[in-house]
Amino acid sequence: MPRRIFTFDDPDRFTTGTVGEPGHRTFFLQARSGTRLVSVGVEKEQVVVLAERMGQLLDEMRRRGVDVPAELPEALQDTQPLDEPLVEQFRVGTMLLAWDGEEHAIVVEARAQVEDGEDEPDEEDEDDASEGPDLLRVHIPAGVARAFVDRAQRVVAAGRPPCPFCGMPLNPEGHICPRRNGHIH
């Protein structure tokens, strides 16, 4: 099957969100331009790291004198649910984050997971090659990136609260806490 490459330059929306109840949520990245919509599945930890690194990159560019908002512009705050229809195009395996100095934009690339037995793509492979894992590539301005970071932090925080002893997520019925010698907390 040929490789699919989904490219969005300054999309109408680039966001993250979830479906399901805390403890059983499925996380997504979603890009939309007009009626074109692409959703890819990600792990919670991938959202956490992407938001953290994107925030660090924005802060570094600001420190270097690039016009990057220090805080989220109110007009860009995203509180809407994910767009529908929500159809997962692929599950993300690896991600890349970069700064486009010419456009003063952040580039996010999300590559599909490689199935067991398949070769990992070489670093030398062309990104636009007809073979290889599916790819979502999004170029977003700094303000939209700041909005993504803010929303990602809120989405992750909306999950189960951490155990005060071990930091693992607490279920409503509690959990077996390793710091309490296996007692339920």
Q: What is the pLDDT of residues 60-78, one digit of tens each?
A: 999 999 988 888 878 888 9
- Whether 146 is covered by a domain: the verdict is yes
The number of distinct structural domains making up the chain is: 1
Report pLDDT for 131: 82
Q: Both tokens of residue 169?
A: 């997520």
Q: Which CATH number does the domain housing residue 150 bear?
A: 3.30.2450
Is the entire prediction scored with pTM above 0.85?
A: no
Give the pLDDT mean for 38-59: 97
* Phi/psi-derived region of residue 103, left when phi > 0, alpha when psi is between -120 and 50, beta in every other case: alpha
- Whether 50 is covered by a domain: the verdict is yes
CB atoms within 10 A of CB 113: 14
The pLDDT > 90 percentage for the chain reads: 64
Q: Domain of 18?
A: 5-180
The upper half-sphere exposure of residue 110, i.e. CA atoms within 13 Å in the direction of its Cβ, equals: 27
- Whether 77 is covered by a domain: the verdict is yes
The residue ranking higher by pLDDT, 42 or 178, is 42
Q: What is the pLDDT of residues 97-136, one digit of tens each?
A: 999 999 999 999 999 998 865 545 554 445 566 788 999 9
Alpha-carbon dihedral 55, 59, 65, 67, rounded to 10 degrees? 40
- Whether 92 is covered by a domain: the verdict is yes
Sheet holding 135-141, edge to edge: 5-9, 135-141, 105-112, 88-100, 36-42, 26-33, 13-19
- Whether 67 is covered by a domain: the verdict is yes
- Whether 185 is covered by a domain: the verdict is no
Question: How far is Cα 55 from Cα 70, in angstroms, rounded to an integer?
Answer: 10
Asked if residue 141 lies in contact with residue 104, where contact means CB atoms within 8 angstroms, the answer is: yes
- Whether 68 is covered by a domain: the verdict is yes
- Whether 83 is covered by a domain: the verdict is yes
